[in-house]
Structure 1
Amino acid sequence: MTTEPESFPRRHARTQRFSLGAPRAFSVAPDGSRVVFLRSASGTDRANKLWVLDVPDGDARSGTAIPPGESRERIAADPGALLGGSSEELSAEERARRERSREGGAGIVGYATDEAVELASFALSGRLFVAELRAGTARELDVPGPVIDPRPSPDGRYVAYVARGGLRVVEAEGGGDVALTEEGSENVTHGLAEFIAAEEMGRSRGFWWSPDSDRLLVSRVDDTPVRRWWISDPAQPGSEPQRVAYPAAGTDNADVRLFVTDLSGARTEVVWDRARYPYLAHVHWSAAGAPLILVQARDQRSQLFLAVDPDSGVTRMVHADEDPHWLDLFPGVPSWSPSGQLVRVADEGGARVLAVGERPLTGPQLHVRAVLDVSDDNVLVSASAGEAAAEPETGEVHVYRVNELGVERVSHEPGVHSAVRSGGVTVLVSHVPDKAGGQVRVLRDGKQVATVASYAEDPGLSPRVRFTQGGARRVPCALLMPREYDGDTPLPVLMDPYGGPHGPRVLAAHNAHLTSQWFADQGFAVVVADGRGTPGRSPAWEKEIDGDFTLSLDDQVDALHDLAKSHPLDLSRVAIRGWSYGGYLAALAVLRRPDVFHAGIAGAPVTDWRLYDTHYTERYLGDPAAAPETYAKSSLVTDEGLSAPAEPHRPLMIVHGTADDNVVFAHALRLSSALLAAGRPHEVLPLSGVTHITPQEQVAENLLLLQVDFLRRSLNLG
């Protein structure tokens, strides 16, 4: 008896998009001797273990790469052994943190190390554990819980952590546990990031050790001013609804303050104009200078880089930025260089550049995305080709070394690359179009000395993708045809975008296009287009959507029509699908442009931007009280949103998780009500108990199958 092979949707769901088993979260010891990372045991195992790779010295002079077998991987912490085989229990706060980071794994999902990368700390089931990375041993520290975000001091003597909304410190050897702040009251927490910091600013933490390990910067968050929403699962009427402090556009944010706190609990408040600059966006504290904070105005058109006197809490301005549209935030900056110069990423001269001190070190050839490491000799950045680049390099992101002498590319193969570096050792993580998953190489002085194996499953499917540009604006596109396609027959089209800020989908990486290829193999020509607002080209490209999200739709249409001139696309049968901003775009498409789009699938769509959070929405659309017309124009539930003629009717499927606390289920309900009032047929697929991500295996699998069925029915494909 032969067993039927599992379908792609089932394997895609079970492996969490073929990400399980892949190594991630790398740290490199400053002496270059160790690389620490997380990885689960197989492509279907969710439980991450903490691993150490002992890096061979290599022979940098000969340029000979040492085979991977000569390096040594070892487990530093196994969650199964540490928990004695018992299942994990997560606190509500930990579940919320994982939702903010879109974390679908289990076991050790995050860790922190001391400066020497000899001690690691992590939480399991709300309990605190530390691992001695040289010895490869792990043990539990007996402390009050549930523990959140434990972090060793730089010297490795202490571990700070949050429990019950208060910050505590314990000796790394155990004992001496003390509270540095009082436990949080109902609405106050210490040492945790508030909702919008974690969701929109890229700041997932709320405390930072001093380089001397004698005090910390600690945030205090009071969300009393924030409106309360109630999120419940209608399928479980006996369960209490979840009470959520959600700062919707135009409403009050949490009150965020910052304190310098010593190990006795004495604290000094950091002083800045919080009324003018309420957003604490970034904190950096290193031996190279005073504590450095980045604070933003609520409209995000001005921001200050402030140095903090840790004794008095007084701040002085190091740099100020202004922009008529908005100021973006970037990973890794601001920071100090080892020589004490300010490192930042700025929009200058029509380009996104790296600046050290007051001098830009890159120009319009590069579009800098993040700062990865700052050393005495150079700055390591990730960047894509800028407007002035000789070649467009559609979908590619590379790693570069930058200093006053010039720019040197570290990654060479076309693809999407990132890196972690310390002590002359660089961990280069590469995703390329023609190889499944990611490849991790360990470089010493630029020469490969080891690799880190991935246990992720092979998808058994290779995308047939062509990277190109479409329309007068040269919109980056990925075009996918069925693998068995004859090359001539006109095909129905499925647009498959995200299409908005922070979410590029046209990536020169194999696994980024697996689902699109699976849809193509169902008989579609799939088009993925990154229009204005998506990152990767220039500040002007990203900021052109200021005050008008509907421009995203214009670029989808232009790209589609341009590609149809050179490819056999059947423009009489065009559908569109998307999730989150892509879901908004899909619904917008069938409502505003029924002349182009014949069916749409809107997953977790933002339908009324007044219901989305402050930091994201106000950045692009402004204050809803001051610019109601802007919100109305981009909304799906206002008269403007439903301004297209009711005929021809275009089928629309709305999919939404009832437990979503990011794009709440009310968005789907309001759109459905507006469509019903306008007499427009549509389908609603509620996902009971599902949040903004769909980790449930059966739900994720069947969701793909139901979408194909809907598209076939709606486009009369039989």
Structure 2
Amino acid sequence: MKKLLLTLALFAVTQSMTAQEITLDKIYSGYYRGKGIAGITSMKNGENYLVIEQGGIAKYSYKTSQKDGNLVDGQFESYDFSDDESKIILLKESEPIYRHSFLGKFDIKDLKSGKVISLNDGKPVQEPRFSPDASKIAFVSENNLFYQDLTTGKITQITKNGAKNNILNGLADWVYEEEFGHARLYEWTKNSDAIVFVKLIETEVPEIYIPIYGKSLYPTELRYKYPKAGEKNAVASAHIYRLEGAKTMDINLDHVKNYYIPNVIQTSSADEMVLITSQRTQNASDILKINTKTGAAQKLFTETDPQWVDTDNVTLEFLEDNSFLWGSERDGNRHLYWYDKDGKLKKQVTKGNWEVTDYYGYNPKSKEIYVQTTEKGSINKVVSKINIENGKSQLISNTEGSNSASFSKNYNYFIETSSTAAKPYTFVLKDGNGKTVKELQNNNDQLQKLKADQFVEKEFITISNEAGDQMNAWVMKPKNFDKNKKYPVFMYQYSGPGSQQVSNSWDNGNAIWFNHLVQKGYIVACVDGRGTGYKGAKFKKITYMNLGKYEIEDQIAAAKWLGNQSYVDKTRIGIFGWSFGGYMTSLAMTKGADVFKAGIAVAPVTNWRYYDSVYTERFMRTPQENADGYDKNSPTTYANLLKGKFLLIHGTADDNVHFQNSMEFSEALIQNKKQFEFMAYPDKNHGIYGGQTRPQLYQKMTDFILKNL
């Protein structure tokens, strides 16, 4: 009996010790998983909002925050209303294609009659969209554009030349979707009498093929069009389909910059549409007003920049009188500008040494816009309302951390989603002036579990680079930190153009793994160097034509600064990154070989010649124009410099950063007699996940760090 009691006591102690640690098993079991609110949408009356719950789409009152039952019963992945809220489209099931695009099966429910019909007779479609009068819904099927009459059920085919890897109508190709950020390239006119769409002919775009190993006897193949830097892109053209007469007319864009047509935007006028077009260099974009009756195109203005215009981050909002708000970095920070309906600048609406990071809407009654900004510091995001006529501004969110908002249609309420690096997400219902009505959801349980397991918070600091810039950084130190000891340092970064990793916000991903490493005795640090975002255009765009040069200089400078701290062992500094961050890790282990002892590069670009045209040329121009910029900033060029322990990881079916990148870098390392570790994940894409993949991946990276750092 005594032996049994002793065994039980030892077991209890072991369990107690385990409970005070953050483990990989706990991370990937979902033990620390947080809670959220899905599908928040305001109803047109401004008095109710909807969320997706287990039993369906639930309706809540803003005023009382009480549930008023379900608007729709059942389980759906997502939903969207017609403008008048008489109908709702429900995504029943989906199959992903690329990052944004997917094939989906949809039902359309008439909320007055209760009648439900299947879109496209139940066959999968892409990008369905209600006409503004709710009588029809357009969609894309097999690269052709259609619309379905919701009264008769009749389906009308608008285009007939769509074909895989050849012609797309109203739909983005791979590179448009990935780099301009959306898949739909069509829009209804305000009065529902026409559809303006972009056609992409990708016949001459080079094709990439990826072997898919699966479990079949012979591997299969994924083939799609992928324009690499300097190669041919899809030929873009714009067209108008008028429902009356079922006629399609071309829009003549010969007089404007028309290499790319990334945006089709509805205006407040019944017979007008706006196209945003760009030249290949992406340092000038034309904003065009299209007469949808005649097809005539009028240039409203051209946005230019010495380096690049952010064609993937467009803010264009039309007000009731068809004047519009436009986001621009022309004064050195991203701010909003107000134009009249003919493209004449009325005024700059926001000003200051901070940036507008999101736009939520405009209240015509109060003449106020609602925006997210960095006015409380570049690592924070706050929400404000600003009168566009007199400039009066009012902060309506928390003053620190990362805060975003989902507003009621009348702007009398909003649901604030907020977090800090030390506090997980909370969802709070507030009135239009920022006064709390009710906390709807918090993640106190998640935080308590983490704190019980010795979770440590990030410490925010700044580190100077060689140019004298103060770079934002965070550091995580062991719980029992002793300034008289020497600690190894594990650095994490991404570093891509306009990105941000040093943010006062909660991280449900790597931050918990970093805590696991901290408990193993490491200091974990992250530095946002030149090229990253929210510190102004000059800081972000200095990397132009030399992508990777200043970024790696800053990571090396940061590592040296950390190494000079009395509590850091400068001989034990490691670095880790994914995608662009993997690229930086590869440079760190070669150009920074004397500073970094170990590095993990996941899915890295290793030669910008292998990456897509839109992204790469935005920052580098083409290889034909800037060969040195490509070659002098490729880690492959410096493979002979590798000294430390290096782990290279890539998914074989990565459609974004192709496996070819790691193959080329590996060959360069091999030919320079360099020893390194390489892990290939069969049939995994850029995210490297599925089944037990992520637990295995993070265990492998953890073991590598413990062994080599």
| Structure 1 residue 451 displacement after superposition | 5.1
| Structure 1 residue 258 displacement after superposition | 2.0
1:37/1:199 Cα in 2 relative to 1: closer, same or farther (>3 Å)? farther
CA distance in 1, matches of 2:84, 2:28: 38
8 Å CA contact 1:292, 1:307 repeated in 2:
yes
Residues 493-508 of structure 1 correspond to what in structure 2 (within 5 A)?
A: 493-508=489-504
1:53 to 25, 39, 59: 59
Q: Could you say which residue in structure 2 is the equivalent of 1:400? A: 384
Runs (4+) off by over 6 Å: 1-7, 133-138, 454-457
Residues 328-343 of structure 1 correspond to what in structure 2 (within 5 A)?
A: 328-329=310-311, 331=313, 333-343=315-325
1:354 to 294, 313, 336: 336
Residues 659-688 of structure 1 deviation map (CA, whole Å, 9 limit, x = unaligned): 110001111111101100111111110011
1:592/1:565 Cα in 2 relative to 1: closer, same or farther (>3 Å)? closer
1:184 to 162, 184, 205: 162
| Structure 1 residue 521 displacement after superposition | 2.3
Residues 372-521 of structure 1 correspond to what in structure 2 (within 5 A)?
A: 372-376=360-364, 377-385=367-375, 393-402=377-386, 403-406=388-391, 407-421=393-407, 422-424=409-411, 425-441=413-429, 443-444=431-432, 446-449=434-437, 452-453=440-441, 458=446, 460-461=449-450, 462-471=455-464, 472-486=468-482, 488-511=484-507, 513-521=511-519
Opposite residue 405 of structure 2, the aligned amino acid is: A
The 3-state SS of whatever aligns with 2:374 is strand
The 3-state SS of whatever aligns with 1:642 is helix
| Structure 1 residue 332 displacement after superposition | 5.6
The 3-state SS of whatever aligns with 1:483 is coil
| Structure 1 residue 185 displacement after superposition | 2.3
| Structure 1 residue 71 displacement after superposition | 4.0
Residues 275-294 of structure 1 correspond to what in structure 2 (within 5 A)?
A: 276-288=257-269, 290-294=272-276
CA distance in 1, matches of 2:300, 2:31: 44
| Structure 1 residue 16 displacement after superposition | 12
Q: Could you say which residue in structure 2 is the equivalent of 1:74? A: 70
Q: Could you say which residue in structure 2 is the equivalent of 1:96? A: none
Residues 27-106 of structure 1 correspond to what in structure 2 (within 5 A)?
A: 27-38=41-52, 41=54, 51-56=57-62, 58=63, 66=64, 68=65, 70-72=66-68, 74=70, 76=72, 78-79=74-75
2:254 to 267, 270, 273: 273
2:306 to 303, 308, 324: 324
| Structure 1 residue 511 displacement after superposition | 2.3
Residues 168-183 of structure 1 correspond to what in structure 2 (within 5 A)?
A: 168-172=146-150, 175-182=153-160
Residues 536-584 of structure 1 deviation map (CA, whole Å, 9 limit, x = unaligned): 1100011011122221111122233334555622211000011000111
Residue ranges of structure 1 left out of the alignment (5+ in a row): 42-48, 59-65, 80-106, 386-390
Q: Could you say which residue in structure 2 is the equivalent of 1:388? A: none
Q: Could you say which residue in structure 2 is the equivalent of 1:85? A: none
8 Å CA contact 2:120, 2:148 repeated in 1:
no
Residues 86-130 of structure 1 deviation map (CA, whole Å, 9 limit, x = unaligned): xxxxxxxxxxxxxxxxxxxxx61x443222345332443442212
8 Å CA contact 1:159, 1:170 repeated in 2:
yes
1:455/1:477 Cα in 2 relative to 1: closer, same or farther (>3 Å)? closer
Q: Could you say which residue in structure 2 is the equivalent of 1:92? A: none
Residues 463-494 of structure 1 deviation map (CA, whole Å, 9 limit, x = unaligned): 41111211131111111122343454221101
8 Å CA contact 1:429, 1:441 repeated in 2:
no
The 3-state SS of whatever aligns with 1:519 is helix
Opposite residue 402 of structure 2, the aligned amino acid is: V
1:307/1:404 Cα in 2 relative to 1: closer, same or farther (>3 Å)? same
1:283/1:428 Cα in 2 relative to 1: closer, same or farther (>3 Å)? farther
Q: Could you say which residue in structure 2 is the equivalent of 1:558? A: 557
1:77/1:696 Cα in 2 relative to 1: closer, same or farther (>3 Å)? farther
TM-score by length of 1: 0.85
CA distance in 2, matches of 1:114, 1:443: 26
1:498/1:75 Cα in 2 relative to 1: closer, same or farther (>3 Å)? farther
Residues 160-193 of structure 1 deviation map (CA, whole Å, 9 limit, x = unaligned): 1111221222233561222222262241122212
CA distance in 1, matches of 2:135, 2:30: 38
CA distance in 2, matches of 1:612, 1:77: 45
Residue ranges of structure 2 left out of the alignment (5+ in a row): 1-7, 94-103, 340-344
The answer as to 2:629 corresponding to 1:633 is no
8 Å CA contact 1:77, 1:131 repeated in 2:
no
| Structure 1 residue 142 displacement after superposition | 5.4
The 3-state SS of whatever aligns with 1:556 is helix
CA distance in 2, matches of 1:606, 1:73: 50
| Structure 1 residue 630 displacement after superposition | 0.7
Which structure has the greater CA radius of gyration?
2
Greater relative contact order (Cα 8 A, min sep 6): structure 1 or 2? 1
CA distance in 2, matches of 1:458, 1:132: 40
Q: Could you say which residue in structure 1 is the equivalent of 2:101? A: none
Percent of paired sites with the same residue: 23
| Structure 1 residue 614 displacement after superposition | 0.7
8 Å CA contact 1:29, 1:116 repeated in 2:
no
CA distance in 1, matches of 2:161, 2:433: 47
8 Å CA contact 1:491, 1:523 repeated in 2:
yes
| Structure 1 residue 453 displacement after superposition | 4.0
1:136/1:712 Cα in 2 relative to 1: closer, same or farther (>3 Å)? farther
Q: Could you say which residue in structure 2 is the equivalent of 1:569? A: 568
8 Å CA contact 1:76, 1:138 repeated in 2:
no
1:532/1:700 Cα in 2 relative to 1: closer, same or farther (>3 Å)? same
1:606/1:654 Cα in 2 relative to 1: closer, same or farther (>3 Å)? same
After TM superposition, the structure 1 stretch with the greater mean CA deviation from structure 2, 152-161 or 671-680, is: 152-161
Q: Could you say which residue in structure 1 is the equivalent of 2:659? A: 665
CA distance in 1, matches of 2:554, 2:42: 42
Residues 128-159 of structure 1 deviation map (CA, whole Å, 9 limit, x = unaligned): 21245689996634526221122222222222
1:112 to 72, 80, 92: 80
CA distance in 1, matches of 2:140, 2:273: 21
Q: Could you say which residue in structure 2 is the equivalent of 1:23? A: 37
The 3-state SS of whatever aligns with 1:427 is strand
8 Å CA contact 1:435, 1:510 repeated in 2:
yes
CA distance in 2, matches of 1:149, 1:167: 10
1:497/1:209 Cα in 2 relative to 1: closer, same or farther (>3 Å)? same
1:598/1:395 Cα in 2 relative to 1: closer, same or farther (>3 Å)? same
Opposite residue 145 of structure 2, the aligned amino acid is: L
CA distance in 1, matches of 2:153, 2:134: 14
| Structure 1 residue 397 displacement after superposition | 1.3
CA distance in 1, matches of 2:185, 2:227: 18
The answer as to 2:697 corresponding to 1:703 is yes
After TM superposition, the structure 1 stretch with the greater mean CA deviation from structure 2, 110-119 or 473-482, is: 110-119
Q: Could you say which residue in structure 2 is the equivalent of 1:46? A: none
Opposite residue 88 of structure 2, the aligned amino acid is: A
8 Å CA contact 1:143, 1:177 repeated in 2:
no
Number of matched residues?
657
| Structure 1 residue 205 displacement after superposition | 1.3
After TM superposition, the structure 1 stretch with the greater mean CA deviation from structure 2, 7-16 or 212-221, is: 7-16
Residues 472-525 of structure 1 deviation map (CA, whole Å, 9 limit, x = unaligned): 311111111223434542211011111112431112112253333233223211
1:141/1:350 Cα in 2 relative to 1: closer, same or farther (>3 Å)? closer
TM-score by length of 2: 0.86
| Structure 1 residue 446 displacement after superposition | 4.1
Residues 138-153 of structure 1 correspond to what in structure 2 (within 5 A)?
A: 140-141=118-119, 143=121, 145-153=123-131
The 3-state SS of whatever aligns with 1:404 is coil
CA distance in 1, matches of 2:180, 2:173: 10
| Structure 1 residue 458 displacement after superposition | 2.5
8 Å CA contact 1:395, 1:467 repeated in 2:
no
